[in-house]
Amino acid sequence: MTGEVMAEIDRLLKKLVKVKGSDLHLSSSCPPFLRVNGRMHTIKNEESVEAERVERLLREILPPFNKEGFNKNSDTDFAYEIPSLGRFRVNLFRDRRGIGGVFRLIPEKIFTAEELNLPQALLDFCQLSKGLILITGPTGSGKSTTLCALIDLINRTRHEHIITIEDPIEFVHENKKCLINQREIHCHTASFKTALRAALREDPDILLIGEMRDLETIEMAIETAETGHLVFGTVHTNTAASTMDRIIDQFPADKQNQIRQMLADSLKGIVSQTLIKRRDGTGRIAAMEILVVNAAVSNLLRQGKTHQIMSIMQTSSKQGMQLLNKVLLELVVNREVSPEAAYTKAVQKEDFISDLSRAGIELDPVCQREMFLFDATQQ
């Protein structure tokens, strides 16, 4: 790879780090974009990059074992590292203009559970000996950072064998009290399900599955949790109840009841999180919905009555449960985020407006109308 090409990529990534952004976007025939505090911005004084140059820039850093997959599927994921600057999770893809790429900055520093001020319920999950813990939320919601902090907490406080299966490896963990083996899809193993099957012969106590993206991986994760291991995984869902429904619906109808029973026995908690821009513009803050699976939740799960779980969460705050709307309201009342920013992240939006009204807080009328019109187009 040429120094000129690498210097160009490195120069743009250094700008990303300098402005404390999260993502660099390169798209053919467009200027580079940066995502800063959740918003997209073009880079000042950067012109559009022609398709041929974007392809040359991105192909130069494409690892050999990803080239075949990219040529076949037109997208691929890998990690890219610049010494003394940082690691980046990279996705390459094709669109109508040509090749594009997204570079997600992976902070070198591992944020601890204490620094992130994680709720006690999450810390309690780290003391379990077995079970399934799911961290959910849309892309870019901070799932990886939360998972990293939980694994770090276990690494500092327990004496266990931890295996992580990631695509690609993001945060790098050094052994503290635990032995940690980190495996990367395509580099160290063929797939999540292949690595998960092999992990059962590698004497693990704790498994982290970077993404539960197919039926076989989901089923193996549940079975692994049932057989005496603590399993952490991620799913792209927005609420605790929808997470359970999404998992169950992945399976054929004649197997769903069995999976429901297995989940009722193995599932210990679900954390659904999102990131919101702070009111003072200094960054973003995580809002978390937390479900702690107790006997009542397990019974509803067995009976297929997941729609009733929200009512249990509303009355079980002493067990560490919290609904997203309540957390969002607290952030607004404490003036950490604006009502409008919180509204965009609320799942039950009409209920959230009622919650704001009871707290004596009103949305900006113009903004409220615009958001209602936008929500209507999404339904």
Dihedral angle sign, alpha carbons of residues 131, 310, 334, 284: positive
Residues 183, 281 share a domain: yes
- Candidates 74, 32, 73; CA nearest to 50 is 32
Residues 261, 117 share a domain: yes
Residues 269, 132 share a domain: yes
Residue 6 banded pLDDT, cuts 50, 70, 90: low
- Candidates 228, 141, 233, 160; CA nearest to 195 is 233
Average pLDDT over residues 85-105: 93
Q: How many domains does the chain have?
A: 3
98 by DSSP, 3-state: which?
strand
Residues 279, 178 share a domain: yes
Residue 112 banded pLDDT, cuts 50, 70, 90: very high
Residues 268, 169 share a domain: yes
Whole-model pTM? Answer: 0.86
Residues 184, 270 share a domain: yes
- What does the buried/exposed string (b/e) look like for 135-170 if buried means 16 or more CB atoms within 10 Å of the residue's CB? bbbeeebbbbbbbbbbbbbbbeebebebbbbbbbbb
- The yes-or-no verdict on residue 4 having pLDDT over 50 is no
Average pLDDT over residues 44-63: 90
Residues 118, 19 share a domain: no
Domain of 37, CATH number, reads 3.30.450.90
Task: Name all contacts of 363-366 with Cβ < 8 Å and 24+ positions apart.
Answer: 363/339, 364/339, 364/340
Residues 229, 140 share a domain: yes
- The yes-or-no verdict on residue 239 having pLDDT over 70 is yes
Q: Which of 84, 106, 128 represents a domain boundary (last residue)?
A: 106
Instruction: Quote the domain boundaries for residue 346.
Output: 335-378
- Candidates 310, 333, 334; CA nearest to 323 is 310
Q: Which of 106, 124, 152 represents a domain boundary (last residue)?
A: 106
Q: Which of 294, 313, 332 represents a domain boundary (last residue)?
A: 332
Q: How many CB atoms lie within 10 A of CB 79?
A: 19
Residues 219, 177 share a domain: yes
